[in-house]
Structure 1
Amino acid sequence: MFDPSRDQARQFFIGAWQKHKNREVLTQLEIIAADLVAHHPEYHPLLEDPDGVYKDFSPEDGQVNPFLHLSLHLAIEEQLSINQPPGLREAFEQCQARHGDRHAALHDVLEALGETIWRAQRDKAPLDALAYVEAVRRKASS
């Protein structure tokens, strides 16, 4: 199983973005990562900063961790590609139809995933896949 360190995961996004900007050959995963970064221009300065990989982001300070955000996006892309948990792809497509925009729909899924992860951590329980898909469905109908 792939289990990168925090810095390795961050360097992956920085490297994929740099290769994209330099028009270098990218792996399939790097293509997805670079596309995600392209949809987040607010993160470009950080990803282009050589010290960005070491920056800390504190929720207590109201900071969103861009690397966590991009990593969740990447996880969702993988989940959608294999429809895991079952029903996620259909719920996502409903969100996309509601928004008329793929990236906005991905943010609905990202929010649902974040909430599901938070509940699992809070309750010291496994991730509830059914609740996750149901949360995405609720977002599609709201």
Structure 2
Amino acid sequence: MFQPSQNDVRRFFCETHAKARQGLPLTPIETLAAGWIEQHPEYHAELSDLQAALAAVYTVEDGRTNPFLHLAMHLTISEQVSIDQPTGIRQAVELLAARRNSLHEAQHVAMEALGEMIWASQRSGLPPDGHAYLDAVRRRATA
């Protein structure tokens, strides 16, 4: 399994942003990432300075969203939907998108459930519970 470091993730998003701004060719995953970056102009300044990005610390107490975590979660959900893993996530996110009239908003709702699953896994020491995650997304899609 591919497990990039924090710096690998930050480099990826910063380099993807730079390549997209310069109109350079992008790989398929960079193209997907560039689309999410484009939808988050509030992160562009942070993505434009690689050295600052590598040194940045994001804490809950600061009240700032970690743009790299946020964008990585968008990519994660996009990949989950593309392969329908866990099975049913594609339908749940599509229903959310239809109800919210926005794939972006649907992803943010799914992101909350994804974050909850990761948090629960870290707290319990157990593997992530894909069924609980899918159920949480479905509940949000039908609420």
TM-score interval (norm. to shorter)? over 0.9
Say whether the 8 Å CA contact 1:91–1:136 is kept in structure 2. yes
Q: Does residue 20 of structure 2 align to residue 20 of structure 1?
A: yes
Q: Which residue of 1 aligns with 2:41?
A: 41
User: d(CA) in 1 for partners of 2:63 and 2:123?
Assistant: 20
Shift of 1:40: 0.6
Moved over 3 A (4+): none
Aligned 8 A contact 1:7 1:54 in 2: no
Residues 115-124 or 79-88, more deviating? 115-124
Q: Give the SS at the match of 2:3.
A: coil
Alignment TM-score, normalising by the size of structure 2 = 0.95
Structure 2: give runs of 5+ residues left out of the alignment: none
**1:120 CA drift (Å):** 1.1
Give a deviation string over 1:98-129, Cα, whole Å, max 9, x none: 10111000111111100111111111111111
Letter in 2 for 1:49: D
Q: For 1:42 and 1:54, how far apart are their aligned partners in 2?
A: 19
Identical columns (%): 46
Matching residue of 2:7: 7
Provide the rounded CA distance (Å) in 2 between the counterparts of 1:95 and 1:67.
24
Tell me what 2:104 maps to. Answer: 103
Asked whether the 8 Å contact 1:95–1:139 carries over to 2, the reply is yes
CA offset digits 1:81-104 (Å, max 9, x no partner): 100001100111110111011100
Q: TM-score, normalising length from structure 1?
A: 0.95
> In the TM superposition, what is the alpha-carbon distance from 1:49 to its structure 2 partner?
2.0
1:122 maps to what in 2?
Answer: 123
Note the 1:29-108 alignment, pairs <5 A: 29-50=29-50, 51-108=52-109
- Alpha-carbon shift at residue 3 of structure 1 (Å): 2.2
Q: How many residues align?
A: 142
Q: Distance in 2 between matches of 1:47 and 1:92?
A: 27
Greater mean deviation of Cα atoms: 43-52 or 127-136: 43-52
Q: Flag structure 1 segments of 5+ consecutive residues without an equivalent.
A: none
Measured after TM superposition, the shift of residue 4 of structure 1 is: 1.8
